[in-house]
Structure formats: C-alpha cells, structure tokens
Chain A
Amino acid sequence: MSAREDILNRIASALRDSPATPEIPRNYRRATTMTAEQRLEQLVDRLRDYKANVFVVPAAGAPAKLAELLAGTASIVVPHRLPEDWLSTLLSVGKDDAGSPAVEVDSPERRLTVAELDAVDAVVTAAAVAVSETGTIMLDGSPSQGRRIISLVPDRHICLLRTADIVEVLPEAIARLDATSPQTWISGPSATSDIELERVEGVHGPRTLDVVILT
C-alpha cells in the first residue's frame, strides 16, 4: 500500500465515530464601517507604528514625490507595467543626469538576475490592496507589482498605493485577492522579535519601506 493510501486509511479509521461537521459562525466583522478618510488615517497611523515612512500626496504629484524620494539614489528597479506617469519624470531625465537614478525594468522578456537586483538601491512597485486595521500592504504579482524577487532583494521598497485600494478589515482584502496568485503581505519593514521578544526593524527583507498614498 502506498503511503498516501495508508495515511488516508488511518484517517478514515480514526474518524470512524463520524464526528459532526459544525456550522461556521462568521459573526466577526467582514465589511468596513469607516469612511475613506478614516481608513486612510488609520492606515497611516498603523504603518508608522511599524516604522514605515508614509507620504500622502495628490495622484498628480506622484512623479514629483518619487523624484524627491529618490534624490541621490544611484539605481532602481521597476516592474514592467508600473503606471508610466508615476515614473515619467525620472525616465525623461535619463540615466546620465546627476541626481536621478538609473532605472532597470524587470519584464518577462528581460528578467533581472539576483546579482543585478542585489546591486540596485531601491524598488518601486504598486500594490494590490491595503488593510488599514492591520497596516498591511498586499502584493499579488500583477504586472504593476512584478515578480516577488524584485520587491525583496533591494534594501529599500517604495510602494505606491491608491486610496481606492484601502480597505478596513482583512476579510475585505481576501475577497479582492486571487488565492492562486503569488502573494506577499507586508506590514512594515522587515523586523524580528527574536531577541527578548522586543521588536527591532531591519533584518533580511528591505530595511526601509516607503509608502506613498495617492489621493
């Protein structure tokens, strides 16, 4: 008998008393009771609590804010479908101008290697959805967010988020996401509580997380 059959048989035998399958009481909150402004305020508060840098700017101001954040940065990587207007200022300036970073684009045609990603200073991505109650940003690998590796290896992650994509509670975010897409949920920069159970930021993941929320 294969291990699979063996184990399934053991389980069936263990359950020979036919335990009842209970109804699931879903009486917890599954929808928001907050206004968009309250959700925004809550998300900013929770992200800052976990030592992320948060900037709230009008949507049209995205390129200017990016340029400001990236001043002095030598190189960045972006996913191939990052909305163009977000990067237009940077791209138009070009690589050789002092003060603006070289922009590497990771695409299905040209996937950056680990070594290349390790050499860039920052990554700029969009986000699929954010949960204000927990201060969580979710990436689902769509073309505006890119492969998981690009938001992992560079030491700084700049994430752009639209207010329309902010929900209050986790169930709302789960309803928006496709389970089978490769996901990364991010709540603040990388951290550890392994030393005397005190949280300290900055271990293996990006040590700086900048969240730019576009209103």
Chain B
Amino acid sequence: MNASTAQTPTAIPAPVNEPLKTGGGPHGRRSAGPVPAHPSAVTATARIRATHNGRTTTVPLLHNDGPFHLRRLRSRGEQARVRVLGAMSAPLGGDRLALDITVETRGRLEVTSAAATIALRGPTTAPATYDVRIRVGDHATLYWLPEPLISTRDSILHQTFTVDLAPTSRLLMREGQLLGRSGEPPGHLTTRLTVRRGGRPILDQHTAYGRPAPAWDGPAVLGTHHATGQLLLVDPVFDAPQESRVIGDDPAEGHAVLTPLAAPQALIATAVAPTPAQLRDLLDSALAYAYESPRAQVEGQR
C-alpha cells in the first residue's frame, strides 16, 4: 500500500448496521463469510467506533462478531473504555479474524482485552490471520493495551497491525507475544506492524518466530527469550526524549530499549524477556521513562 492510497483517518466511513456474518452465534464455530479455509473456520470482523459528542467520548458502534465480544466499561473522565472478551477459542487454524478500531476527532478511547489471545492449531494446519486495523483522527487518542498473544505448538498465525494516525493523533499501543506455553515449543507466528501518520509511514516492522522462521531463537533475534513485545507511543504534544534508554541490568532477566523513531515525537520500546511478567515490567519501565521528560509532566495531560 503506498501513501497515495492511505486514507487519512479523519474522514472515516462509519460501517454501521453490518449484518452479522457468523451464523452460529457468539459460541458457534460455523463457517461464515467469504473464503472459508476450513469447514469449521471462522471469518469475523469486530468493530469499535468512538466519537466525541462535544462533552465526552461515546462509543456509538460496538459490533461483536465471531470470537470477539466487546463490552463497554465505565468511562474514566472523558475517556471511553472498551474491553475485548473472547467468546470462544480463537484463532484456530484457518480462521480469518479482524478487529477495526476507529477513534474519531477528539475522541479518547482505551481498548483492553480480558485475557491473553491463544493461537491454537485447531483441526487444520491452515494458517490463521488476525488483522487489527486502527484509525485515530485529529486530536483523538487511543490506548490499545491488549493482553499478550500466546503461540502454541503447531499453530500458524499471521497477524497484522495497521495503524493510521492523523498528524495530531495520540497513540499508546502495547503488544506482547509469548512463544509457547511453559515448556512447549511455539507454533509459527508472524507479525507485521505498519504505522502511518498523515499517510506517511513512520514504522514498518515484520517479525517471524517459531519454525520454520530461520534462527528465530538464535543470538541475533530472540536468543533464549520466549517473551517479546513492544510499546509504541506517538504524541504530538510531547517533549519526547531524544536519547535512547537501555532498560534491564541483567540480560538473563530480559532487557529492553526505549528509542526515538526517525519521525519526531514517536517512541518505541522493544523488549525480550524469559516470561510475560518480566516483559510487562520492562515495558512499564519504558513507559515511565518516556514520560520522565519535564514538559510532559507540566502539561499534566495524564
């Protein structure tokens, strides 16, 4: 996709009243939608749209589909909150899942998930796909803070995160991956993260872990660590640190680095750790460092 076809996130068509595509209800695994890769595979797109009504943020669209059950939580100030609940095991091999999150002008939305997402093999060796599409409009804010994704033995999952920001959008996004449950080799997990601001790419990354990805557990990629994750912070009213910050004294306990992207006012923390808890600690430390700069505190945005 090139810059000319990228939509600016301000004028977003509101996909309302979409017919439910999953026939079996929230707990069914009946085939639905186009191109079922397997008779029991699920094709589902859940949607969240938040907007600002002049006083506060409302969430006029919460569209459940397939394994996604979305729940409104109590707002925190002007910030609306939504939690993604998993209503069945997913993704399984062959599933095609998508989650669209749109925050319109001046909206403030936090999206979390209730539990880790677990990629399982299912009845087929076909790959599953999980596409998260995020659009944040002018002066709008999104916190996308899901629980980690766990890649289990023999699963194959290709996930994408496509983020379109306006020049004045704010984003805090955290994503973590655990490669195999305790003592288990992982399946194959690929992740493509593309972030555009005002239509221009500011971050493009692709990772591939678990066989057949070459040397993914070797000394250049993850080493012995089975948890990895990132924290991305884009904030136009933010005196972003210009220097990198190394986090973690003992590589055996995991380590991370908080770095400014080439694009201004955008930071990313990259972490590897033995366990998800240690990963979370590293990313939390990175977030604290990001906001250590004096100006961010004076503005009292948070």
Partners in one complex: no
